[in-house]
Amino acid sequence: MITLNLKYIKMMAQKIRVRFAPSPTGPLHIGGVRTALFNYLFAKHNGGDFLLRIEDTDQTRYVPGAEAYIMEALEWCGIKIDEGPLERGPHAPYRQSERKELYSAYAQQLIDSGHAYYAFDTAEELDALRTRAESVGETFTYSNSTRAGLNNSLSLSKCDCEKLLTSGAPHVVRFKMPENLIVEEVDLIRGHVQFNTDQLDDKVLFKSDGMPTYHLANVVDDHLMEITHVIRGEEWLPSVPLHILLYRAFGWEKSMPQFSHLPLILKPVGKGKLSKRDGDQMGFPVFPLAWKDPETGDVSRGYREDGYLPDGFINMLSMLGWNPGTEQEIFSMDQLINSFSLERVGKSGSRFDPEKTKWYNHQYLIRHSDEELAGLFLPYLEAKGVNVPFPLVVRVTGLVKERCHFVNEIWDQGFFFFRAPETYDEKIISKRWKDGVPEMMAEIAEFFNTLENWNAPEIKEPFSQFVTEKGWNFGTIMNSLRLCLVGGSYGPDIFDICEIIGLTETISRIESALRRLGRV
RNA sequence: GGUCUGUUCAUCUAAGGGUUAGGAUUCAAGAUUUUCAUUCUUGCCAUAGGGGUUCGAAUCCCCUACAGACUACCA
């Protein structure tokens, strides 16, 4: 009985728990989505929990709507949150601004134990020191080598310090970085990494506005929320020693989470990490959902609005930095969960390839059922003012989806099922519309009128016979007829088009082409 | 500048001391489609450079180059 209980407790203690901890400073970038995804996949592969924690400790950077955006984006991607601001959970609240009161006690604990100290230097003073150092080609750091000459509880007398504190002088709490200490980490992605604390500075843990910085809040919350694995972007690697030292200072080293640092997502061309501008310049979204900047009113496009399917989008992201070690490329979310492991995450940054994204979307488009796609296409159709029976939309979708990359392209590839062409492709006109073609088209219209049954096979056969009897060139006829019906040289089988738009419309399109293109 | 991390076809990547360095995307050619797209076939294309270690190196070590991240009272 007792052993069973212990076993149970141990199991509970070992339950994998990860968190995605964005700051609500704007829309989620695809790099952020991938971080969330890898956290989610890792958690679910191991039967663990995925938490969402909102890191809104910087009040100056808070952007209204960003938090809701993050949640909506994760939902669209199919990433399900086990604990979070909306889902609640045993460690609520999940918004750091709502946990504000909690952190000062931890900061105090560090001061009491000598791991941290008060600093009274103003931002202006520090800025001045930085620019002065820069002017002589050096870098100012608030560290072991400089702290004695600055305004803090280590340099000031106890009495002076207390006076300042009781007078309410603005101050921050800084971590007292130990001297010449090697801090080692075994990163699940990068392997063994080590740092010397002499190269590190005394980071601010608690700001003068009463809010903790990322470093303090992050460590405290990860501990309190029983996070077992921290999976985050590579940009955090340099702060690993600080975080490890914080766990030690709190006496939490035994339960410290394991770290994994994901490689960056790079620009498709040129140098640097992927940014919003790359998307604008090259014509692809960098955000999962469209985003309207509440200040400027600028709208950034989103994968969802651009007609990407969430599972294809997720599949594409999963392959950026991770691979299964097999030649399989198409993965459903469940398959990803099944195959995912941090060991197979690469160390080097991946260039983002918009072409591959399109390819993935095409793969998913042809795999989705016609009904489902037609449902997704319906809003686009409505926007065009087209109102037709759903089964027709389904049929058209099935006919054109193979030639589409995106849901919205169903319109480009199949608008002529719903509406007569308004323009005719100039190139095709000059290539096909000559030498008595208009007369042939007129004869074909008459011929169509003689047919008894109007369906693709029963149009095709007599039509072929008719053309053969006339001794006309098939290529010319088929392409010219296509020009009349769709306005160009594309689209599915011509007889399917005839059947679907109907006899009357077919005749009418031939007539209007004759009228508008003339008899040459 | 300093610290840390990385570097295999144009791109995403496989190969963890022994393979003609494999796959996918893009691109090109051909076939199919009386159109376009799809599909199929074929082709092009890579171990950053230099030193070691070893019978043997993409793989281990060193140097160089290049790239990136960090170096805020931002996360």
Note the strand B nucleotides within 7 A of protein beta carbons. 1-8, 11-16, 22-26, 34-38, 67-75
Per-residue exposure over A16-52, b if at least 16 CB sit within 10 Å of its own CB, e if not: bbbbbbbbbebbbbbbbbbbbbbbbbbbbbbebbbbb
Q: Taking a C-beta distance cutoff of 8 angstroms, is the pair A290, A307 a contact?
A: no
- Name the protein residue, with chain letter, whose CA is nearest the C1' of B25: A356
- Nucleotide showing the shortest C1' distance to residue A270 CA: B67
State whether ipTM is beyond 0.85.
Answer: yes
- As a whole number of Å, the end-to-end CA separation of chain A is 96
| pLDDT value at residue A1 | 35
A15 is catalytic: no
| pLDDT value at residue A427 | 87
**Cβ of A97: how many Cβ atoms within 10 Å?**
16
Maximal CA-CA distance, chain A: 112
- Nucleotide showing the shortest C1' distance to residue A139 CA: B1
CA/C1' separation A508–B2 (Å): 76
Q: Which of A276, A358, A431, A460 is catalytic?
A: A276
Distance between CA atoms of residues A218 and A222, nearest Å: 6
Beta bridge partners of A194: A184
| pLDDT value at residue A135 | 85
| pLDDT value at residue A520 | 53
| pLDDT value at residue A4 | 42
- Nucleotide showing the shortest C1' distance to residue A189 CA: B5
Which residues have a Cβ under 8 Å from the Cβ of A208 and sit 6 or more positions away? A170, A171, A172
Residue range A267-325, pLDDT digits in tens: 988 788 888 888 888 889 999 999 999 999 999 999 999 889 999 999 999 999 999 99
- Name the protein residue, with chain letter, whose CA is nearest the C1' of B11: A353
* CA atoms A164, A165, A169, A172: torsion sign: positive
CA/C1' separation A238–B75 (Å): 14
| pLDDT value at residue A12 | 54
Q: What is the pTM of this model?
A: 0.91
| List of chain A residues with pLDDT < 70 | 1-13, 519-520
* CA atoms A405, A410, A411, A413: torsion sign: positive
Distance between CA atoms of residues A170 and A183, nearest Å: 32
CA/C1' separation A413–B37 (Å): 9
CA/C1' separation A278–B47 (Å): 29
- Nucleotide showing the shortest C1' distance to residue A25 CA: B75
